[in-house]
Structure 1
C-alpha cells in the first residue's frame, strides 16, 4: 500500500514511463499521506489490445491512473493525492497532433481489515 497503476492507450507512442514514474513517486511521497516511501508501488500498463473511446473510430487516446489506498483518508487528502498525480501526468503525457487525449485519476479505498502486506 499504496498501489499506483497508470494505464494508457497504445496510440500514445513514446510515453516517458521511467521519468513519469520517478516524478509521480517523488510527488506522492512528498505528501504527508505516504508515511514510508518504500510502501508506494507504481507501474505503467500500456494497452496491448483493442480499445475504443466513445463512438468515433479514431483520434482519441486515454490515460487513467488509479491509486489504491488503505481506507480512512479524508476527502481533502484524496483530492490532494489525485491532484498530484494529474499534475505530473499532464506534464508527461504525449499530445499527438489531432488526437484528443483524456486524462482521469481515481482514488480507491482498499479494505483495511482484509489487506495483507509483508516484507520478505
Structure 2
C-alpha cells in the first residue's frame, strides 16, 4: 500500500514515464498520510487500443488511480487528488491537434483483507 497506476493513450508521444513516476512518488509520499515511502508501488501503462468519446482522432488521455487502504478522510483523498493533478498538468505532453483529458481517481482498498509482506 499504496498503489499508483498511470495509464495514458499511446498517441502522447514522448510521455515522460520516468519523470512522471519520480515526481508523482515524491508528491504522494510527501503527504502526512504516507508513513513509509517504501510502501508506494507505482507504474505506467501505455494503451495502444483506446477510445475517448466517439471521435477516432484528436483526443488523448492520462488517468491516474491511487489505491489506498480504507479509512482516509475525504479531505485527505482530495489532497492526494490535487497533488497528483498538479504533476499531471505540469508534465503531460500537449501535442498540437490533441485535446488531452486528465483524470485522477482515489480508490479505497479493503483494509481487513489486504495482505502485504516483505521478503
TM-score (norm 2): 0.98
Count of residue pairs the alignment pairs up: 119
Other-structure match for 2:13: 13
Give the CA RMSD over aligned residues: 0.6
Moved over 3 A (4+): none
How many Å separate the matches in 1 of 2:19 and 2:97? Answer: 25
* Cα deviation digits, residues 14-55 of structure 1 (max 9, x gap): 11111111111111111001110000011100013x211111
After superposition, where does 1:30-45 map in structure 2 within 5 Å?
Answer: 30-45=30-45
Structure 1 position 87, deviation (Å): 0.5
Shift of 1:56: 1.1
TM-score, normalised to structure 1's length?
0.97
Between the aligned partners of 1:38 and 1:119, the Cα distance in structure 2 is: 11
Name stretches of at least 5 consecutive residues in structure 2 with no aligned partner. Answer: none
Quote the residue 2:60 is aligned against: 61
Distance in structure 1 (CA, Å) of the matches to 2:96 and 2:85:
21
Residue 70 of structure 2: aligned partner:
71
Instruction: Describe the SS at the equivalent of 1:113.
Output: helix
Instruction: Give the Å deviation of 1:98.
Output: 1.1
Alignment partner, residue 104 of structure 1: 103
Structure 1 residue 102: Cα displacement: 0.1
CA distance in 1, matches of 2:56, 2:43: 28
